[in-house]
A and B are shown apart, each in its own frame.
Chain A
């Protein structure tokens, strides 16, 4: 894979004198010289080989696994190719309720949501083909069509479950965690960063304290929040009883359980967004802000017109990182609710793990591939359509 000459900064300084010196000295130095000549390969090879073995090869293997049926038999296993059966089972078949949610009749609201999503996406595509958002290219067209069809599929999935009053599947729950959770985290993180960038005392204290949760093991957070949410023994028990909810168990209601997982997740991840946005806010040129103050602009105007354009590229990137990590959420649901009630809080990673634990690696592989597909399509769309554009405008 690696061919061509090794150069530093485009030049080749001192290769000949070094070679002359080494040629005059015997063995040990020869070895050193060999190492030096192979250095360009040696430097990058370990990383490449490790990624190939532990990332690319498993990626291919999981795909093959997802196209087969695995029978465990006396210590070993037999694999048989079954085509797309596993995926069909998840999307149309007997596992649909688990992955996509319970599909019954789509309600009026559901149809309205579907139509609105379709209209919005059509408008977006038409605007693109009208050439108003830059030149039309093949890659851009194909990418936008993929993005639009996936978004429409997801909108219909939500229309048929959430807006029709039936249960969500693990895909819906994962997206709920990502969209709602990351949205809340962004707003609170930004708010805290704005508060901390005010001229206040004790800023270092607040900064250190707000930073702490990011370091804490998610499993520990899961248990601590479970303890705190206990309506009988937790610290807020008197409050619950005062509201007459003494024997209310939040873990039994799907929405309170999901909300609680988002609270735990936010407790951990708001610091991440806070730290990054605070640094971005501190990099906003002071004289611009002062000039704004002097010209009589209000705080909101200063934020909107001066600070926001400066922090948008950073905010877009930090949210990309957050969303990528958000799709991987597994520890909190597993610890706080075990995926329950029913499957109400099960993220896709947890779903895949449960399938694996039920000795069905093929289904587990199919689910993880579906997760990979959704993650890649949404993150790449977000990157191409939001992060890049913002960077181009303000960067």
Chain B
């Protein structure tokens, strides 16, 4: 049986003249934490709303648990949503808000379930406080508790760390990792890649409604790792020299002329000398040091340039 939980094919959403999401294609596997990264207005929320059944796609298909989704499909019940701001009645307490949701789910033993959820998100002490007196972080945590009410298999969290202080961000991060360890597949969006990188296992970069890259965590870290990029006349001849003369084992051949060395402690001149002494022409050598944030900006800028 396939482990694909969500499959999105050529998903497009157009609002009047605005193309919010353009031909999105990706798969999310069971147990993943799928990070959706994009600037404000990139189309993250619209994409998540389509997956969560709030917004209908203009074209394209969504498969959930290997079934094609249509309006009111029962599989939507296996999802918990926290999209944009948590949907809460400010004049009611956290307990009341959770009770409303529990009633909509028809939960019999809702008192026990509500208390467990409040405990899980760390709001059990303030369960009688009106939500209008909550901080942003507390509202987000309550939103997550509500999203967990139906014991979902998939949790969709749209910008859950927006407006949170460092402690709040850390709490939400730990909560997400804890929920994932219990088997919940999580889709999380953010415009802060650095933060997303601490939880996500797969990343999709969305820019102007288009998914421009999808990477596993390992691939992304590799791309952002400190490296020396060497452009030579013949890469096949260069790599044995690097191994034998400089004892370099951590490298990756990018193409016929380029090799990336992931050992930034070696001085450039030693690499050049070793290669030149063995008859290899070195066209260029460059040290790369890139943060995840820089990588993201570079990717989105390159898309802007490519699109003119």
Chain A bound to chain B: no
